[in-house]
Structure 1
Amino acid sequence: MAKFPIDFLWGGATSASQYEGGHNEGGRGLSHMDFIRRIEKSDKDKVFPINVTKKMFDDHKTHENEYNFPFRRGSDFYHRYKEDIALLAEMGFKTFRLSISWSRLFPTGLEKTPCEEGVQFYHNVFQECRKYDIEPLVTMIHYDIPVYLTESMNGWEDPKMIELFVHYTKFLIDEYKDEVKYWITFNEINMIMNSSYLGGGMFVECSDKPAETCIHQALHHQLIASALTVKYFHENSKDGLVGNMIARLQNYPYTCSSKDVLATQQQNQFNYFPTDIQVKGYYPASILNYYRKNNIDIDWYPNYEEILKEGTVDFASISYYHTAVISSEPDKQEPIGAFIRNLENPYNEITSWGWGIDPTGLRITLNDMTDRYGVPIFIVENGLAAHDQITKDLKIHDEYRIEYIKAHLRAIKEAIGDGCDVMGYTSWGCIDLVSCGDAQMTKRYGYVYVDADDKGNGTYKRYPKDSFYWYRNVIKDNGADI
């Protein structure tokens, strides 16, 4: 019978831009995420993730005091980190995934020396984790870049971003390597192909390149920056491990037509190719051929082939939320690499936000990645968004979340039995935070309820949900009853 490894890293995940808050404290500069405002729309509007045009950005700056910018508030971890980490410890967390705000350390991204208040804040957070034997899993960049770099360089389109980012990541490695064992360079590095503003901090309409060329040029810069960071990490950290991350979307053929199967294979190749590069150290033939066919002309970074080869990661990590079906029929075709798709799988239950629930798809993904890469795999995001209701006696009964996570943990356990080397599982938004999809608190993922609404009203007090106690027992028994 399959078992979770004795050293399996149980935990949960957050990001600085969605959770930390304190956007104007401790010397922090604004990030490009701080200019994403809440726009009311139907929950099932399949518009994810948020994209911001230059026109919208200018409007947000002009009316900065009039609009609602939830990412600036987050869940107020900046002031409540001791309380929150104590709650994670009560659940028995082995690891806590969080990210560092680049603009909290280097407010514009151009500074040579960091803001000392920001440096000390993260020391305090890591020391608090260590107090409870919680291993930090740190994402170096979870989308957010200093907004100055968006305005002055058009974000990751500019190759100067590589040098600035590597200056930042070298500092992180040197400063925190004794407190942090596990690192991820970029969160969901493939998301730039779905939202150029979110994933790249840039406006494609301001580029002199065609939109798709601009996006893949920026992605190339991110891949180089990641590889240079990984190489430096391996040269300067004795015991740590560094990984990559993609938003993994398992695709199925819409029918058993060979044309649908081929279209699905092409979509899966496109979804995987950033991990192919970061694990194997080179661009796959399929993506180079795609570039040629679509006239995507990349300005290759000097010595990029050697850089990629020398900067391969130790483990591959993924977010996993849902699966998709792919058709080759002209009236059903959707953009290659799209994260949100309109074709629905009739075999899947659908969440309140229109995402198909497919635990078996996670098992398929883990087996596929094991065969493809042969490195440890870390599921660093997975979870169920729901309209949680708090009762008069301050309880939150979220059996639906328990069932969702239980099913996905069972799929992971089965994949381990299949021979997959799975390092751990950190469910998304372990304490409620601002959802990235449409900048709202209403879309809740956590084991802990945060008393705040989409407009920032509320006490921000924390209340454990039923899933809090369930997950505590899962960790205590190392998933024996899953």
Structure 2
Amino acid sequence: MKLKKDFLWGGAVAANQVEGAFEVGGKGLSVADVMTYKANVNVKDYKRNVQVTSEDIAAAIADHTTTDYPKRRGIDQYHHFKEDIALFKELGFKVYRFSIAWTRIFPTGEEMSPNRAGIAYYQEFIKELKANDIEPLVTLSHYEMPLELALKYNGWQDKRVIDLFVKFAKVCFENFSEVKYWLTFNEIDSVTRHPFISAGIIEDQTARLEEAEYQALHNQFVASAIVTKLVHEIIPNSQVGCMLTKLTTYPATAAPGDVLAALNKNIMNYYCADVQVKGAYPKLILSYFKQHDIKLKTTSEELQTIKENTVDFISFSYYMSLLAAQKEDGLTMTVGNTVAGGKNPYLKTTDWGWTVDPVGLRISLIELYDRYQKPLFIVENGMGAKDILESDGTIHDSYRIEYFEQHLSEMKKAVEAGVELLGYTSWAPIDLISASTSQMSKRYGFIYVDQDDEGNGTLKRYKKDSFKWYQHVIKTNGEEL
């Protein structure tokens, strides 16, 4: 069984990591715009990199520069998008996943009318993609909610944010009706790992943090269901997906206690997809809420809305697998994608400690498809590495080619096993600002961008060796890796 002829090959980014131009065209501050680059913090200490205090926010608002806030400058794709899209066309992209910055459309989130300059920018961006035969895949919320909503409502824990998000989404559907594929919330389950980035929850202002996190998740489920219905009404034949962080966890040993620990980790990882695909809270999660005294504010109308408006497909990120044990003090711990877990002694790791597990991608695809029987879409997969720009303008990244060869081979085996797969977008096709560490030196792309962690550089784009390799993979529809 081969990949279908209309398989969607491409790449994925987030607005806050590539666009820059944080004060151009009437854009407001987002939660990403107050994330600092911490040069002296261990890059593997993800918790310190994603935590933001009230004091941090106040300092960021007073500082109008990009020096300490790399996501404000990104790679300046705002001004380079035609050049970048031309490179994506050369790669042979069928699809490009990007997000629409909420704060370009509604700078604070509460304006009565949308910002026309923001709408015009994305209309031009989508027009350029279409002119190059690249299908847009749009994420509505990718770690970039308006900062004002975090300050005023403590983010998504407040139900009033639901209507504000629906208003934003409706403007997107009405103005970008050429877009067929939509995602609602990026890695929606990440609210419990980094509540400020994902949901605008300021931890030092929150008395019952875990309850606030799950309330925010519920409110996002409701919002996702409402806009799923809305886009189906406004854009005929559109498709909406949920987006999950696929955190595949293995037991550290065959000991029943370790197997149980891994099972519990995987159940909690699936919970957000369960709600959005099956339309109801799993009983095991309701039991967890009761055991941990988590009381959510829900209504029968909200639960009915969730039930009636499930997603069309399941998209997910996959970077690594982890180990779990009954007694974690016996594990060697590692981190990756803002989560910590046991390090697998059978697997290699990247420069940032993320385990490399290609077979885990096949396992993840088979598990997801067996559980949900819905089309799947891999919308993030890749490795961060330290690339060297040679004096002749070349970048030799054989390690990246090897990583993708192995993962795509396992992806194909999952399809051969019967998994229905819509497409694959690498994270990321072009170097960008890292989500967790706000680094530039953690490079993902097939395209090198001349900029360092402090923002120095020409921003010139260079093709890495992996560029030509991925180009050939797409040209042969994955037949030749």
**Which TM class, normalised by the smaller chain length?**
over 0.9
Between the aligned partners of 1:128 and 1:465, the Cα distance in structure 2 is 24
Shift of 1:311: 1.6
Contact 2:154 2:201 in 1 (8 A): yes
Residue 254 and residue 156 in structure 1: after superposition, are their counterparts in 2 closer, same or farther (change >3 A)?
same
Residue 332 and residue 175 in structure 1: after superposition, are their counterparts in 2 closer, same or farther (change >3 A)?
farther
Match of 2:254 in 1: 256
Match of 1:227 in 2: 225
Between the aligned partners of 2:282 and 2:375, the Cα distance in structure 1 is 21
Matches within 5 A, 1:43-442: 43-47=43-47, 50-63=50-63, 65=65, 68-177=68-177, 179-208=178-207, 210-329=208-327, 331-332=329-330, 339-442=338-441
Contact 2:67 2:455 in 1 (8 A): no
Between the aligned partners of 1:464 and 1:301, the Cα distance in structure 2 is 52
Shift of 1:45: 3.3
Residue 254 and residue 102 in structure 1: after superposition, are their counterparts in 2 closer, same or farther (change >3 A)?
same
| Counterpart amino acid of residue 255 in structure 2 | S
Between the aligned partners of 1:104 and 1:27, the Cα distance in structure 2 is 7
| Counterpart amino acid of residue 252 in structure 2 | Y
TM-score normalised by structure 2 residue count: 0.96
Secondary structure of the residue aligned to 2:109 is coil
Contact 1:75 1:460 in 2 (8 A): yes
Match of 1:479 in 2: 478
Between the aligned partners of 1:342 and 1:477, the Cα distance in structure 2 is 37
Q: Percent identity?
A: 44
Between the aligned partners of 1:227 and 1:112, the Cα distance in structure 2 is 23
Between the aligned partners of 2:35 and 2:478, the Cα distance in structure 1 is 38
Secondary structure of the residue aligned to 2:436 is coil
Residue 460 and residue 339 in structure 1: after superposition, are their counterparts in 2 closer, same or farther (change >3 A)?
closer
Contact 2:9 2:424 in 1 (8 A): yes
Contact 2:274 2:280 in 1 (8 A): yes
Deviations 1:221-276 (A, max 9, x none): 11111111111122222121110101110000011011111111111010010000
Between the aligned partners of 1:183 and 1:108, the Cα distance in structure 2 is 23
Secondary structure of the residue aligned to 2:322 is strand
Runs (4+) of structure 1 exceeding 6 A deviation are: none
Secondary structure of the residue aligned to 2:369 is helix
Mean alpha-carbon deviation: is it higher for 382-391 or for 340-349?
Answer: 340-349
Between the aligned partners of 1:97 and 1:64, the Cα distance in structure 2 is 29
Secondary structure of the residue aligned to 2:138 is strand
CA RMSD of aligned residues (A): 1.7
Residue 330 and residue 129 in structure 1: after superposition, are their counterparts in 2 closer, same or farther (change >3 A)?
closer
Match of 1:12 in 2: 11
Count of paired positions: 478
Between the aligned partners of 1:86 and 1:378, the Cα distance in structure 2 is 24
Between the aligned partners of 2:268 and 2:354, the Cα distance in structure 1 is 21
TM-score normalised by structure 1 residue count: 0.96
- Where in structure 2 are there 5+ consecutive unaligned residues? none
Between the aligned partners of 2:299 and 2:91, the Cα distance in structure 1 is 46
Mean alpha-carbon deviation: is it higher for 324-333 or for 384-393?
Answer: 324-333
- Where in structure 1 are there 5+ consecutive unaligned residues? none
Between the aligned partners of 1:381 and 1:89, the Cα distance in structure 2 is 19
Residue 19 and residue 111 in structure 1: after superposition, are their counterparts in 2 closer, same or farther (change >3 A)?
same
Secondary structure of the residue aligned to 2:139 is strand
